[in-house]
Amino acid sequence: IPRFSAIDEVQTDTEALMTTIQFGIAHSLAKISPKPKRDLLLPDFLTADNIPFPHQGSESTPAHKYKHFSLKSYSPAAFRHLRDHFDIQPEDFIASVCYTPLKQLGNPGASGSVFYLTQDDKYIIKTVSFNEAFFLQKLLAGYWMNLVQNTQTLLPKFLGLYAYQSGSRKIRFVVMNNLLPSTIKYHYKFDLKGSTYGRRASMKEKRKTSPTFKDLDFIQMFPQGLSTTPEMYSKLINTLHRDCMVLESFDIMDYSLLLAVHNVSEEFRVNRSRFDLPMESHVIDTNTMNSNHPIHSDSIICEPDTPTETPLDNQNLTSYLDRIPEDGVVATLPNGDIAVVYVGIIDILQKYRAKKKIEHAMKSVITKGDTVSVHNPAFYSLRFKKFMSQDIFHPEETTNQQPKPNMR
């Protein structure tokens, strides 16, 4: 059980709340850890363990300075299995999530969810609604089937689902991987759905240090899309197809492809003197970046309001390359620049319901129905796949005689 140093510090309400939640998660993880491992059974997906934390402590929980609260851990055995599957060691997970203060991210979404990032940049904690939490538990067995069958999956890595309750206050949250670790700079970041209606970043968003652009911005910025090797292209599109099939089978929609671009050529131009390279060496040997690493799964979120640029001063080429997460897709930008692109499907807990049907009907009145992002799941998935395979990614033309980077 962790020592809770943060408990004595002066904290705001939210900080105190998060510290309490971390304290609760630590206990819940410590409780499941010693249990012998066994194969996952279907009922494991549907259980929940509610631990009360009385102020004065109990036989199994220590006394604490906060109000009486309880922490419900949903499907604890299933999530332990999932963390194992993702090669996350229990002691590392507890250290990342529970032992250092979390950083709150400035409102990245419109839903009102609050996002927290762990100090080490590895995990995101997102608050979710009752419906989303309920739905994730229902989805979990199907999600596990996809993980096992579709090993390249781009779906989020769900690592835990909890509910904190104190009096009438109830907060549900999910722990997942951070797709965009801040070891490198993301020159562009997009949240893409395949719809065009209103899908442009607001002026407020664009003024941020690391804005998240949308579909229409992408089309404007990269009208020819991003090209990858034909092998990488088919791998990526095939994975998207399989993931969309799962999402569609659960009537899920409104999800996005989070796509971040690290422009390697640009970094080389900016830092040429530091790398001690001649002018033309911006075409780098992608072998050194382990480019045969298929499609991802862990990468970064840039904190929307903080600079993510890591100056390359005093860094040599090797240390720069070492900092590039290996799970990106190597792509060529329309101007010939080489980039590493990080992709993942996010926000998959929205089920098509009556409210969405009404929203679609209303929006269709004022615009052409097909461009609206709220649609039925089959249509949503079809349009999403079409957009990603035609407008976002392209297979490189093999007949092109221009010198190509080595893609392995």
Q: How far is the CB of 156 from Ca ion (least distance, A)?
A: 12
* Closer of 110 and 366 to ligand ATP (Cβ): 110
User: Of Ca ion, ligand ATP, none, which one does residue 258 interact with (CB within 5 to 8 Å by kind)?
Assistant: ligand ATP
What six digits make up the tokens of 291? 């480019």
The torsion defined by the Cα of 72, 77, 80 and 81, in degrees rounded to 10, comes to -150
Strand partners, 127: 173
Residues numbered 172 to 211 that lie near ligand ATP (CB under 6 A) are 176-180, 191
Residue 376 neighbours by CB distance under 10 Å: 15
* Pairwise CA distance, residues 81 & 384, whole Å: 30
3-state SS string over 353-367? CHHHHHHHHHHHHHC
Q: How far is the CB of 304 from ligand ATP (least distance, A)?
A: 7
Is residue 108 near ligand ATP by the rule CB under 6 A?
Answer: yes
Residue 400 neighbours by CB distance under 10 Å: 10
For the four alpha carbons of 385, 298, 113 and 93, in that order, the dihedral sign comes to positive
Residue with tokens 């996350």: 88
* Pairwise CA distance, residues 43 & 137, whole Å: 11
Is residue 161 near ligand ATP by the rule CB under 6 A?
Answer: no
Sole window of 13-21, 207-215, 346-354, 382-390 interacting with Ca ion (rule: CB under 5 A): 346-354
* Closest residue by beta carbon to ligand ATP: 109
* Closer of 118 and 212 to ligand ATP (Cβ): 212
* Pairwise CA distance, residues 310 & 307, whole Å: 8
Is residue 110 near ligand ATP by the rule CB under 6 A?
Answer: yes
- Among 163, 184, 236, 258, interactor with ligand ATP by CB under 6 A: 258
Q: How far is the CB of 225 from ligand ATP (least distance, A)?
A: 20
Report how far apart, in Å, the C-alpha atoms of 155 and of each of 70, 177, 378 are: 30, 10, 17
- Site size for ligand ATP (CB under 6 A): 19
Is residue 127 near Ca ion by the rule CB under 5 A?
Answer: no
Q: How far is the CB of 157 from ligand ATP (least distance, A)?
A: 8
- Among 100, 111, 152, 364, interactor with Ca ion by CB under 5 A: 111
- Among 243, 347, 391, 396, interactor with Ca ion by CB under 5 A: 347
Residue numbers at the binding site for ligand ATP (CB under 6 A): 108-111, 113, 124, 156, 176-180, 191, 212, 256, 258, 301, 346-347
